[in-house]
Chains A and B, each alone.
Chain A
Amino acid sequence: MTVDVLVIGAGPAGLAAATTCAQHALSTMLVDEQPSPGGQVYRGVAEAPLARRNILGHDFAAGASLVDAFMRCGADYSPGTTVWSIAPRDGGFDIALRVARQSRLVHARAVVIATGALERPFPISGWTLPGVMMAGAAQALLKSSGLVAREGVVLAGNGPLLWLVAWQYVRAGAPPLALLDTTPRGRLAQALRHAPAFFASSYFGKGLALVRDVRRRVRVVEYVDALAIDGDDVARGVRYRADGRAATIGADHVFLHQGVVPDINLVSALGCAIEWDDANACFRPAVDAWGGTSIPGIYVAGDGAGIGGAHAASIRGRLAALAIANAQARIGGDERDRLARPLSRDHAQALRGRRFLDALYLPDAAFRRPQGDTIACRCEEVRAGAIARAVRDGYAGPNQVKSYTRCGMGPCQGRYCALTVTEIIAHESSRPAASVGALHARFPLKPVTLAEIASLPVTDGAMRAVVR
């Protein structure tokens, strides 16, 4: 099968990109790992009953129009589909997909990567215990199944999503026992230099009301600078220190969150250039104004190119689509630019206030750079101390440390440890994270069985997907 454009991910960026591509007469296929469209931010939006939508708030319900427009646009849609390899061929790309335990290859002239963000790793003692989840996971359960943990819930960390989940839990009639806020003292003062843009943004009014609602119903502990989760086989409680005082709180469910970062595994495996974003302490792909990467024909749209939120993501999806429509001669350069102008204005507006949030919520180094026995790589159970030792033994970069310790070698392919590894190495070797670089993700990008690989018809493209 051959298409003009393959879009990966059915969140706001992917839905908007695919819809705009189809509107410009490009044959378009959108593949997504999840069983229904919306991505994480609009997860299950088309199916959520009204009362659940009310609990989740207006911003969630807004996703329904993006899904509707996509469903009517004429693009092919393949849910439950995993991309496990992309290989260049004939000026385009062979993409290896897994659907229902079978593999198939699709050839596309251009690819839009709209795989979004991951929650930043939160490597503290006990974070591997059952009962500990990322806050986004708790929200996913609420969005797709209407599930809430009614008792024994503690939220810890910082950032807009943590407060949003607390707010949604309050609205669901299940206020958490506590919100342990890890925002360091003095951060608000630092963030205030970005205040004018923030006050003028939509984040300000909404955020203020949300924080006020949560504070009314939930005990908020501020300036938490140490955190650990206790438990034998499952989480039983949280130990923390705030203002120099240690305390514990019993908990069956601990929801952690300290911001979201671009998921760069696909661009990393492809070999697209990435860059370090100092303000957010993460890597992101190097992209132009259209989302074009260092590899012609590969675009990144949405939070996967840098965190901007759902609205900005949908705009970047449209911009990438316009660039592809132009590159494949569906529209001229003047038409592309004319259509892009209002989008770029909207995009700048949507990003207003982000710098304030970034400055306020950048997690403290203590929570980004674990030490000693704390597990950094969950899959291979590699502890922070082992990574630090490897650096002292002379293993200079993430990929050497990976070969030596196995960190990042498990099924998640470094999604929940790569940043931690970079930051530990940077600290141990007194180098900037930018020069340390990132773990190099490799194809197959997700575990795929030999039987699934064998299900491919034997063609040159199939060989290239597997043999490297």
Chain B
Amino acid sequence: MFARLPDEQARAVTITVDGTTVTAREGDSVAAALLAAGVRAFRVTAASRTPRGPLCMMGACFDCTVTIDGERNVQACLVRVANGMRIDTT
């Protein structure tokens, strides 16, 4: 489980993950916010329906794709959280 360093003081941002309210920090990527909230599987693969989570965290691997505000297949590591953002994993 990922945890914050004790000195982190960024402002709280509220998002919804699969219908549950989650508090993230300003500046978090959606992927970071999900990992901080204990989410491990972000999606299932098209071919075998097996779970995947982020591999590279830099926009290259496409394993962290989620649905953000209704838009599917968005790379969670490249989008920053915003208040009220609705995220759906699969």
Q: A141-B57, A148-B5, A150-B1 are in contact. Are A35 and B32 (CB under 8 A)?
A: no
Contact: B7 with A49, CB < 8 Å? Answer: yes
Q: Is the CB of A133 within 8 A of B55?
A: yes
B90 to chain A, nearest CB (A): 12
Interface segment out of the listed A187-195, A209-217, A332-340, A374-382: A374-382
In whole angstroms, what is the CA distance A146 to B29 when docked?
Answer: 12
- CB proximity of A72 to chain B, nearest CB, Å: 23
Say which residue of B1, B7, B62, B78 sits within 8 Å of A410 (CB atoms): B62
A258 at the interface (CB under 8 A from B): no
Interface size class, chain A? 35 or more
Which residue of the partner chain, among A34, A172, A252, contacts B5 with CB atoms under 8 Å?
A: A172
Q: Mark A128-151, 1 if CB is under 8 A from B, else 0.
A: 111111101100110011111111
Q: A52-B7, A141-B2, A141-B32 in contact; A379/B62 too (CB < 8 A)?
A: yes
**Given known contacts A136-B56, A148-B2, A234-B41, what 17 new A-B pairs fall within 8 Å (CB)?**
A47-B27, A51-B7, A119-B56, A131-B40, A132-B53, A137-B58, A140-B57, A140-B77, A141-B2, A141-B35, A145-B8, A146-B7, A147-B3, A149-B2, A149-B3, A233-B51, A411-B73
The verdict on A416 contacting chain B, using a C-beta distance below 8 Å, is yes
Enumerate chain A residues within 8 angstroms of B71, measured Cβ to Cβ.
101
The 6 closest A-B pairs by CB, nearest first: A130-B53, A137-B57, A51-B7, A411-B62, A140-B57, A145-B32
Name the residue on B nearest A116 (C-beta).
B58
A149 to B1 alpha-carbon distance, docked (Å): 5
State the Cβ distance, B43 to closest chain A Cβ, in Å: 10
A438 to B: closest C-beta gap in Å: 16
Which residues of chain B come closer than 8 Å to A134, judged between CB atoms? 55-57
A221: B residues at CB distance < 8 A:
none
Closest residue of chain A to B47 (Cβ to Cβ) is A381
Assess whether B25 is interfacial by the CB under 8 Å rule.
Answer: yes
Contact B35 A147 (CB under 8 A): yes
* A28 interface contact, C-beta 8 A: no
- State the Cβ distance, A341 to closest chain B Cβ, in Å: 35
- Once bound together, how far apart are the Cα atoms of A375 and B8, in whole Å? 38
| B4 at interface by CB-CB < 8 Å | yes
On chain A, the residues within 8 Å of B47 by CB distance are: 380-381
The residues in A between 394 and 429 inclusive whose CB is less than 8 angstroms from any CB of B are 410-412, 415-416
Least Cβ distance of A370 to chain B in Å?
16
Binary interface profile of A, 33-74, with partner B (CB < 8 Å = 1, else 0)?
Answer: 111000010001001011110010000000000000000000
Contact residues of B: prevailing secondary structure? loop
A interface secondary structure, majority: loop
Number of interface residues of B (CB under 8 A): 42
A33 and B78 form a contact (CB under 8 A): yes
Asked if B60 and A412 make an inter-chain contact with CB atoms under 8 angstroms apart, the answer reads yes
Give 14 A-B contacts (CB < 8 Å), ordered by A residue. Answer: A44-B27, A80-B78, A130-B52, A133-B53, A134-B55, A134-B57, A137-B54, A140-B57, A146-B8, A148-B3, A151-B1, A378-B61, A411-B65, A416-B55
**B contact set with A: CB distance below 8 Å:** 1-5, 7-9, 25, 27-29, 32-33, 35-36, 40-42, 45, 47-48, 50-63, 65, 71, 73, 77-78, 80
Residues from chain A with Cβ under 8 Å of B25 in the complex: 145
The digit string for A98-136, where 1 denotes a CB below 8 A from any CB of B, is 000100000000000000001100000000111111101
Instruction: Decide: A136 and B51 in contact? CB cutoff 8 A.
Output: no
B71: min CB distance to chain A, Å: 8
Which of B45, B60, B63, B65 touches A118 (beta carbons < 8 Å)? B60
Q: Within the assembled complex, what's the spacing in Å between the Cα atoms of A51 and B60?
A: 29
Q: Known contacts A145-B29, A233-B41; is A118 also within 8 Å of B36 by CB?
A: no
Question: Quick one: given A51-B5, A148-B3, are A234 and B51 in contact (CB under 8 Å)?
Answer: yes
Known A-B contacts A35-B80, A137-B57, A140-B57; the reply to A378 vs B63 at CB < 8 A is: yes
Q: How far is the CA of A172 from the CA of B4 in the complex (A)?
A: 10
Cβ contacts under 8 Å, B2 to chain A: 141, 147-150
User: In the bound complex, what is the Cα–Cα distance between A256 and B78 (angstroms)?
Assistant: 21
Give the distance in Å from the alpha carbon of A378 to the alpha carbon of B48 in the complex.
11
Closest residue of chain A to B80 (Cβ to Cβ) is A35
Task: With A145-B28, A234-B51 as known contacts, state yes or no: A381 contacts B45, CB within 8 Å.
Answer: yes
Separation of A128 and B64 alpha carbons in the complex (Å): 12
Q: Are A137 and B55 in contact (CB under 8 A)?
A: yes
Report the separation of the CA atoms of residues A119 and B60 in the bound assembly, to the nearest whole angstrom.
10
**Chain B residues with CB under 8 A of A51:** 5, 7
Closest to B59 in A: A33
Is the Cβ of A415 less than 8 Å from the Cβ of B61? yes
Measured CB to CB, the closest approach of chain A to B34, in angstroms, equals 11
CB distance from B76 to the nearest CB of A (A): 12
A66 to B9, CA, bound (A): 25
C-alpha spacing A145/B28, complex, angstroms: 6
Question: How far, in Å, is B49 (CB) from chain A's closest CB?
Answer: 10
- Find the B residue at minimum CB distance from A252: B1
Task: Tell me which of A40, A52, A128, A147 contacts B36 (CB under 8 A).
Answer: A147
